[in-house]
């Protein structure tokens, strides 16, 4: 479909979509009994793991103000107080956290024992949450307000790690079985999950006893809408107040006052399956890398809302460029003539299928024979992690899991990484990542590890994104941050 026809399609779809955003809550979506207005939100990614906080769904809970951890990230990417009011390091492996007064949404008190139980469940989860990649710890209650956490090996950034959305603290009722975690009514945030309609919608009501103050919105009605054109159309026709991941092609069709472009730490990359298939051959991976024109993607597909890929970390990670070194040990590019490959991607982020289409053309020009497979993300993730595709085009926030620059390297590129879509297992990479994880001097060590990873050609960074959020004209206080952990907070209202 020609790009410039898409706005016309969106307008045509508007009447059809009107019914999709009716309130799912117990109160009217426009006005509640206390005079406030419920927020209507369209999110791009339906739950892939039944809203378990241990996987990709953790950021859904975080962005909607449902869950919290002991710490949070501040604007500079440093650890800030959340459920823990303060902390101190007792020795190289032990940290002591002092809890603030807070309650869970089921009415029970946030106690040291409850926090220790929650963190222990996270530590025992299989696969391990991305925030705990390579980390083993024990958490124990100490007195009426203290939690002592001891790591197996020194972890100089433990407070930063505990800000991960995957390490949210839930009440004991959340843990029905070893493998199931239920965040409905068991979290601590300003909004409480009250209804979950599979992967289509969730309803949240304000939690009036939130320790941080009473939220201004009485609730949130959320629909999961994978189609980006539909999200933009819903915002334009006042069916939603907030719409995440607006397609670049749709931004021009919206009132400029409703378009918020945020520089983020998100990088779109081409991940090549190093375990089996064509890209097990390092020479063919090198050939794929050399065939890719990242400037064409940034200027063409993203229309200036992105920068050409420079590495795993992009311009929003302000210190990265000055510390980046040229990857060493790359294989000499082979000749791919007639090599058949399948590239998979998802349509929740609407630019990705177009990125994949442009990559197809570039790789075919180099001699590959390319098949594309596009699905909704929740129907694609397990196959991608199992290595059923030769390549995968995905958008990844390099600081989302822990705020620690080493975290994404451990989860995405080491032998034991829980989100290793390239299926990379390289002893030099593992050694470099482990070295980075063992030092407080994260920046230099992370860039050295990045160079090792890029040297394998398991990943080809394509573009560094600016994420576009649609914010209705009546909305105030939307929380837009480069780490993409927040969207709605106590001050968000309309």
Name the superfamily (CATH) of residues 3-66+189-255: Periplasmic binding protein-like II (3.40.190.10)
Domain(s) of CATH 3.40.190.10: residues in the chain:
3-66+189-255
User: What does the pLDDT read at residue 31?
Assistant: 54
Q: What is the pLDDT of residue 130?
A: 79
Residue 370 has a pLDDT of 98
Q: What is the pLDDT of residue 494?
A: 93
Domain with CATH 3.10.105.10 in the chain: 265-466
Instruction: Please count the other Cβ atoms lying within 10 Å of the Cβ belonging to residue 347.
Output: 19
Contact 473, 202 (CB under 8 A): no
Which homologous superfamily does the CATH classification assign to the domain defined by 265-466?
A: Dipeptide-binding Protein; Domain 3 (3.10.105.10)
Residue with tokens 């906080």: 53
Task: Give the span between the Cα atoms of 79 and 73, in whole angstroms.
Answer: 5
pLDDT of residue 17: 45
Which residues of the chain are modeled with pLDDT < 70?
Answer: 1-35, 177-179, 400
Dist CA 206 CA 455 (whole Å): 49
Could you give the angle at which helices 427-437 and 405-413 cross, rounded to 10 degrees? 150
CATH number of 71-174: 3.90.76.10
Every domain of the chain with CATH number 3.90.76.10 lies at 71-174
Token representation of residue 230: 């539909």
Alpha-carbon distance of 255 to 257, in angstroms, equals 5
């Amino acid at each position: 479909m020609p790009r410039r026809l898409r706005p016309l399609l969106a307008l045509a779809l508007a009447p059809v979509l009107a019914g999709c955003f009716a309130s799912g809550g117990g109160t009217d979506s426009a006005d509640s009994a206390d005079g406030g207005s419920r927020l209507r939100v369209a999110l791009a990614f339906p739950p892939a793991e039944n809203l378990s906080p241990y996987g990709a769904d953790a950021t859904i809970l975080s962005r909607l103000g449902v869950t919290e951890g002991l710490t949070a990230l501040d604007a500079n990417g440093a650890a800030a107080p959340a459920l823990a009011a303060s902390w101190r390091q007792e020795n190289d492996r032990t940290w002591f956290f002092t809890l603030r007064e807070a309650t869970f949404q089921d009415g029970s008190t946030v106690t040291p024992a409850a926090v220790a139980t929650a963190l222990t469940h996270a530590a025992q989860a299989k696969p391990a949450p991305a925030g705990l990649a390579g980390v083993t710890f024990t958490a124990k209650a100490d007195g009426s307000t203290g939690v002592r956490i001891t790591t197996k090996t020194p972890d100089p950034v433990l407070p930063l790690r505990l800000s991960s959305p995957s390490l949210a603290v839930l009440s004991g009722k959340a843990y029905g079985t070893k493998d199931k975690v239920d965040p409905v009514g068991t979290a601590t945030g300003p909004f409480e999950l009250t209804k979950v309609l599979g992967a289509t919608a969730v309803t949240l009501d304000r939690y009036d006893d939130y320790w941080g103050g009473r939220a201004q919105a009485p609730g949130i009605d959320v629909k999961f809408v994978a189609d980006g054109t539909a999200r933009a159309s819903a915002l334009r026709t006042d069916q939603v107040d907030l719409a995440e991941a607006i397609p670049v092609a749709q931004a021009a069709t919206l009132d400029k006052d409703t378009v918020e472009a945020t520089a983020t730490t998100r990088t779109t990359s081409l991940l090549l399956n190093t375990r089996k298939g064509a890209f097990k051959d390092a020479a063919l991976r090198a050939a794929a890398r050399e065939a890719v024109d990242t400037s064409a993607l940034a200027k063409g597909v993203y229309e200036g809302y992105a920068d050409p890929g420079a590495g795993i970390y992009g311009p929003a990670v302000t210190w990265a460029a000055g510390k980046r070194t040229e990857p060493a040990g790359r294989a000499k590019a082979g000749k791919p003539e007639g090599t058949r490959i399948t590239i998979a991607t998802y349509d929740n982020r609407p630019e990705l299928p177009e990125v994949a289409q442009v990559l197809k053309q570039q790789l075919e020009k180099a001699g590959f024979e390319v098949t594309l497979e596009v699905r909704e993300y929740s129907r694609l993730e397990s196959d991608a992690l199992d290595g059923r595709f030769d390549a995968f085009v995905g958008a990844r926030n390099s600081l989302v899991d822990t705020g620690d620059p080493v975290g994404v390297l451990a989860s995405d590129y080491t032998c034991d990484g829980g989100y290793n879509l390239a299926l990379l297992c390289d002893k030099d990479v593992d050694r470099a990542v482990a070295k980075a994880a063992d030092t407080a001097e994260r920046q230099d060590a992370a860039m050295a590890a990045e160079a090792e990873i890029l040297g394998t050609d398991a990943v080809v960074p394509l573009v560094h994104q600016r994420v576009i959020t649609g914010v209705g004209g009546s909305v105030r206080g939307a929380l837009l941050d480069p780490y993409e952990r927040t969207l709605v907070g106590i001050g968000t209202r309309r």
